[in-house]
Structure 1
């Protein structure tokens, strides 16, 4: 990888003598499925503080539609689920991590049900759906196409009721506090209380993904890669950042926010058609619409290029109207708002950035390379997904790894029984606070650049162009000290984009979601390995 100028250690100046202090046994940064799962587990061992930069339910989990892949059917097995996951990961999955997460999944999902999560049933039995890459129907869902929201609200209720858990909403975590490769908490900014130092015996990163670095994304506005950025500035090892998964089908209405059309639409029989109305997936893969996501995304892009059209279409008109409306109520509602009746009309779709497969490198206990710092969920790279995430494995991974991080953090506190030992810290960033920059314009330019040059298809020329442009923007953004979330998010997005491009340039092959037109073949001799940067 090209040697880049190392980022500043902290984004803001602060002094422990003049900044307010907060103390907790375990600090959880992020309030999605992984973060809340970690918090609930850790709360059995001590005090827990959950901080989240927006409302507690504004995260990728809440927007997840499809469901949770889990071995709960009598005819399914852990080995079958493992094989499907390993096949999708194209040689880069950590088999031990896959085995642990798939095996532990049923127990954790049953716990969710005990908490009150209401998954869809028929005759008092769970309903299972099949998605692309799965050899068996093992996806459970809630409210048709609102699984993430049901799971999120269930865990929020449990967390709010727990006496050992406190929640700070509208709290932006700016940086981790570290000394001698040990994490002692974080520097955060609260919308009313201002800057604070949060001291913790253990810190758990569960900040989600980075979809907002791309112009086309299914992710909410909060997904700006903050966790990866702050972990990297603190010295944590990162892994496989080139692997960004693009969801094949998001509703495409020019000028409108992209809305996910869940993979289960194809699992229920949806057919992909091009501009001319021709079904095209069978010529690209024997599983057609149920091929792995990387194949479907790349096939849609090729079809858009061949037909010189902005999108393709999903056809579900052959599915019974009553069944269709009952199965996908949210999709029906959103499409109707644009004058599309999914029972009568084709649904215009195109791929969008969806999931960060790489991230902060962790071991089997969710520990990072920094002592006392954990990472779980999308911000972490566990090795579960390899080079291509199997659909609906993300909620499963977040649930299980969150539980593991919370349990290990809690047990380690109980073993050591050390008191919190805050120390004097004075950081003077020494950056200019005067800025005439149009941050929104830079952010939009960055998103367009990443979509064009580091998107579904990549090559050396475009990656070099992206690298040069990002370095240029960094030269006059990174030397500023901002006092608001817009500035901090842009600095994080620039750093994460730099990392994605750097990793993508290094991997000179095509594998999974990383498709290089100048290196179209998979090279198992040179590149059947992980890319790691610290």
Structure 2
């Protein structure tokens, strides 16, 4: 059993920013708390790392908070929480300055000012970026900065299995109970194979998204919705899971499934145009903003065009961008495509939508508090109310940075009032055998991804959702039976989490009886 003051689950921008703030805050104080950050892979592997486009913030005098707020509300179909939108937008510049102070580099123009890009749904140039690897640069800077502190311990290859609450003390925990308390987590040490108990006064979930529940996604393999699933099992509140954003332009490769290479929206912001097989600028038929319309509109336009033409992709024409700008601003895309035999300065890029971002998740207030006491959350695993029915491009990293700060402020207050729970039992593995054959887990995972992609994708229907629910229920029954009789393993736990996520997405979609934002059903046309 390990005891720490602050436990952080996840090593992206949300978790690292929060941990860094704690390190700085307590550096000159008499009290030096123990901060532990666990990550199920190596620390550099997170959704943050794969964010290409950038981070949105009002730092140009010609821009305004009000314009950014309105752009966010319009993209979110005005079901956003306006208080949260205001909080995030107005605190954005300060959080950007912190990222820069921690060593993050953003591209600048020749005159020394930040080179701000424009993306779909934005009325002004406000996207700070580092070429086309912004997330990777932020991740690098944060990891380097946190290495300077000795009161934070990073445990890699630790997979959080379950939140510890009164349930583990034999009490009845329901979703209506107001005093449910988080005491820490049970975590699988992937090296030893043992499930360890990590007790904490304050626990932060920063576990990222759910992209892996679909067969094609821009997310890395770690994005299996673990934090959301754990919170739901612990009877925490989760909502708006039906709002799954599909990025319109992931690189299409025939026969390829799984992790798709992202073609950043910033490329369209620089002038690239989506074209169909006839070379037509087809998105303008769906929206006057054309290729720079919000993502929900562009993704549905592409989906519709592919179905009309019987094609598996459309084309992105980046040849209209100046060659020097294309190579300097988008070097990783240029290089990646070059390796595949595509010269993007002259040839179109084949693209198709892929699962990208979740706008719903664990319900948190403006203090980053969940419905479970002493459990905080921030980043993509949360539903703050910022995004509404559809996330505005490059608002995700911004939200994570702002809410990491709010979580830090809350945590420093909570830790003073909290003690560890001493009576927590060790993980019980009685009656389990060695892990089952991986073929069973892999097949169930593949079946789940196909069900979600075929029935709960960009366009849905009541019948598709009914079938998805029925097939997911069968996979759930088989997996729970497997879980009860075999030893814990990461693949099995991830599958279990993914099934929970699928149930929540399908249930949310079934309850949403209108077409709004990212939820679109042919039954409500």
From 316, 319, 322, the equivalent of 1:320 is: 322
Provide the C-alpha distance between the structure 1 equivalents of 2:47 and 2:201, rounded to a whole number of angstroms: 27
Distance, in Å, in 2 between the alignment partners of 1:472 and 1:431 is 24
User: What pairs up with 1:108-187 in 2 under 5 angstroms?
Assistant: 108-122=95-109, 123-142=111-130, 144-179=131-166, 181-187=180-186
Q: CA deviation at 1:60?
A: 0.6
The residue matched to 2:96 in structure 1 has which SS? helix
Query: Could you tell me how far apart the structure 2 residues matched to 1:74 and 1:151 are?
Result: 24
Structure 1 partner of 2:198: 198
Aligned position for 1:242: 242
Distance 2:367 2:22 in 1: 13
Q: Tell me if the contact between 1:432 and 1:479 (Cα under 8 Å) persists in the aligned partners.
A: no
What does residue range 489-500 of structure 1 map to in structure 2 within 5 Å? 489-500=494-505
The superposition leaves residues 155-203 of structure 1 with CA deviations (integer Å, 9 ceiling, x where unpaired) of: 1111121222110011100011011510000000112243210000000
Structure 1 CA distance for aligned equivalents of residues 427 and 335 of structure 2:
50
Q: 2:407 aligns with which of 405, 408, 428?
A: 405
Q: Residue 426 of structure 1: CA displacement?
A: 5.5
Structure 2: any 5+ residue segments left out of the alignment? 27-32, 167-178
Q: Do the aligned partners of residues 438 and 205 (structure 1) sit closer, same or farther apart at CA in structure 2, a change above 3 Å counting? A: same
Q: Secondary structure of the residue that 2:288 maps to in structure 1?
A: coil
Structure 1 unmatched ranges of 5 or more: 1-20, 521-534
Aligned to 1:38: 18
Counterpart of 1:387 (choices 386, 389, 412) is 389
1: CA distance, partners of 2:419 / 2:260 = 47
Number of residue-to-residue matches in the alignment: 497
Shift of 1:431: 7.3
Structure 1 distance, partners of 2:95, 2:61, is 17
Deviation (angstroms), 1:326: 0.7
1:354-378 alpha-carbon deviations (Å, 9 max, x no partner): 0010000000100000000011000
Indicate yes or no: 2:84 matched with 1:79.
Answer: no
**Deviation per residue, 1:92-122 (Å, 9 max, x gap):** 1010111111111100101111111110001
Provide the secondary structure at the position in 1 that maps to 2:143: helix
Q: Which moved more, 1:437-446 or 1:118-127?
A: 437-446
Q: Answer whether contact 1:202 1:373 (CA < 8 A) is retained.
A: yes
3-state SS of paired residue (1:389): coil
8 Å Cα contact 1:250-1:351 kept in structure 2: yes
What TM-score do the two structures reach when normalised by structure 2?
0.92
The 8 Å contact of residues 38 and 407 in structure 1, kept in 2 or not, is answered as no
Q: Alignment partner of 1:265: what SS? A: helix
Q: Which stretch of structure 1 is more off in the superposition, 184-193 or 103-112? A: 184-193
Q: Conserved in 2, the CA contact under 8 Å of 1:41 and 1:407?
A: no
Match of 1:512 among 517, 521, 525: 517
Aligned to 1:526: none
Structure-1 separation of matches of 2:340 and 2:442:
27
Q: What secondary structure, in the 3-state scheme, does the structure 2 residue paired with 1:71 have?
A: coil
- Describe the superposition over 1:409-456 as per-residue Cα deviations: whole angstroms up to 9, x where unpaired: 122213x2x442321426657776474562111111111110010000
CA distance in 2, matches of 1:295, 1:431: 51
Aligned with 2:43 (options 53, 56, 74): 56
* Alignment-derived partner of residue 444 in structure 1: 446
Distance 1:162 1:407 in 2: 19
- Alpha-carbon spacing, 1:264–1:423, altered in 2? closer, same or farther (3 Å): same
Shift of 1:350: 0.3
Range with greater deviation from structure 2 (399-408 or 450-459): 399-408
When structure 1 is superposed on structure 2, of 312-321 and 300-309 the one drifting more is 312-321
Q: Secondary structure at the match of 2:7?
A: strand
Separation in structure 1 between the aligned mates of residue 427 and residue 67 of structure 2, nearest angstrom: 52
Greater relative contact order (CA < 8 Å, ≥ 6 in sequence):
1
Q: Does 1:227 align with 2:227?
A: yes
2:459 counterpart residue number: 457
Pick aligned residue for 1:88 from 66, 75, 93: 75
Q: Give the root-mean-square deviation of aligned CA atoms.
A: 1.4
For 2:373 and 2:165, locate their aligned partners in 1 and report how far apart those are by CA, in whole Å.
9
- TM-score, normalisation: structure 1: 0.91
Q: 2:376 touches 2:407 (CA, 8 Å); kept in 1?
A: yes
Deviates more, 1:249-258 or 1:86-95: 249-258
Counterparts of 2:230 and 2:57, CA distance in 1:
32
Residue from 363, 366, 369 that aligns with 1:367: 369
